[in-house]
Amino acid sequence: MNLTLNIWRQSGPSDKGEMRTYPVSDISEDMSFLEMLDVLNEELNAKGEEPIAFDHDCREGICGSCGLMISGQAHGPEVTTTCQLHMRSFSDGDEITVEPWRADAFPVIKDLVVDRGSFDRIIQAGGFISANTGSAPEAHSVPVPKPAADRSFMAAACIGCGACVAACPNASGMLFMGAKITHLGEMPQGQPERDARVVQMVNTHDEEGFGGCTNVGACAEACPKEIPLDVINQLNQDLRRALTHGR
């Protein structure tokens, strides 16, 4: 395949940045999107132009590092991560736009790389169960009903990629946060800190510059791990409960 790529180049946080156009040829449909960028980067390097910076590591759809806006869609036209998007999703002659996640809470570092440290700070605010090492009770002492375990697992599958934020017109982090609230809240182990957790996480979310949720639903549509919208309902329910408990 031959393609035309319009790619966002920005040398650093203080640079304005611009779109640049790069034609690529001989792209095989078995390549992943990132392997296609590797090919382009090899060409740029040979020509003496600095390769395009983008985040990636596992290339298996699990670490959550990669993430690009591809022709306006988070991770591209399929519901998957950018590293697991294959070129067979495109056709010969396509023109493709590649941009970084855009959100105030995710400032651009360089080219397609953004800073998602705000996600870590939301987890720091309460996205954990306080269990000091060595003092845990025997695992079978607390049974977890299978439906709860399954729902918890479904929510725990979030990889922290940030596509939900990038897809949301308000750049809200509610899906990400709802996933953690649901993961921990479904388990008996997560109950003692449940109220405090939601209040602190929501406060941090707002301080970090994420927007509010207006039920657009674009987040769940873009999520490569298919985290459902109802984790946001769960979050809202937990928040109401915590506020009525007076936390």
Partner 1 sequence: MTTTAPAPTTTPTTPGADPAAPSEARREPNAGVVHGLYTEGSSIADTKAPKGPISGRWNQRKFDSALVNPANRRKLSVIIVGTGLAGGAAAATLGEAGYHVKSFCYQDSPRRAHSIAAQGGINAAKNYKEDGDSTYRLFYDTVKGGDYRSRESNVYRLAEVSANIIDQCVAQGVPFAREYGGLLDNRSFGGVQVSRTFYARGQTGQQLLLGAYQALERQIEAGTVEMFNRHDMLELVVVDGRARGIVARDLVTGEVETHLADAVVLATGGYGNVFFLSTNAMGSNVTATWRAHRKGAYFGNPCYTQIHPTCIPVSGEHQSKLTLMSESLRNDGRIWVPKNAEDCDKDPREIPEEDRDYYLERIYPSFGNLVPRDIASRQAKNVCDEGRGVGPKVGDFRRGVYLDFTDALQRMSAETVAEKYGNLLDMYQRITGENPYEVPMRIYPAVHYTMGGLWVDYDLQSSIPGLFVAGEANFSDHGANRLGASALMQGLADGYFVLPNTIRDYLAKGPYPKVDEKHEAVTEARASVDHRLQKLLSINGERSVDSFHKELGHIMWEYCGMERSEEGLLKAVDLIRSLRDEFWRNVRVLGAADTLNQSLEKAGRVADFLELGELMCIDALHRRESCGGHFRAESQTEDGEALRHDDEYAYVAAWEWGGDSGTPVLHKEDLVYEFVELKQRSYK
Residues in 8-67 at the binding interface with partner 1, rule: CB under 8 A: 11-12, 28-32, 34-35, 38-39, 42, 45-46, 48-51, 53, 55-65
Name the residue nearer to ligand FES (CB basis): 63 or 96.
Answer: 63
The one-letter code for the residue type at 101 is W
At 15, list the tokens. 């640079």
- Among ligand FES, partner 1, ligand SF4, none, partner that 176 touches (CB below 5 to 8 angstroms by kind): ligand SF4
Beta strand 73-74 with 108-110 is unpaired
Name the residue nearer to ligand SF4 (CB basis): 72 or 188.
Answer: 72
Looking only at Cα atoms, what is the longest distance across the chain? 63
Which of residues 56, 86, 183, 205 is near ligand FES by CB under 6 A? 56
161 binds ligand SF4 (CB under 6 A): yes
Name the residue nearer to ligand FES (CB basis): 64 or 127.
Answer: 64
Which of residues 59, 79, 170, 217 is near ligand FES by CB under 6 A? 59
- Rounded to the nearest angstrom, the gap between the alpha carbon of residue 218 and the centroid of all alpha carbons in its chain is 13
Cα R_g (the chain), whole angstroms: 20
**Could you tell me the smallest distance in angstroms from the CB atom of residue 55 to ligand SF4?**
13
- Among ligand FES, partner 1, ligand SF4, none, partner that 223 touches (CB below 5 to 8 angstroms by kind): ligand SF4
227 binds ligand SF4 (CB under 6 A): yes
**What backbone torsions phi and psi does residue 180 show, to the nearest 5 degrees?**
-70, -40
203 binds partner 1 (CB under 8 A): no
CA distances to 81, 84, 85, 93 from 35, rounded to whole Å, are: 13, 10, 10, 18
Which of residues 31, 39, 63, 79 is near ligand FES by CB under 6 A? 63
- If you write DSSP's letter for every residue of 97-108 in order, what string do you get? EEE----TTS-E
| 39 three-class SS | helix
Report which DSSP code applies to 164.
H
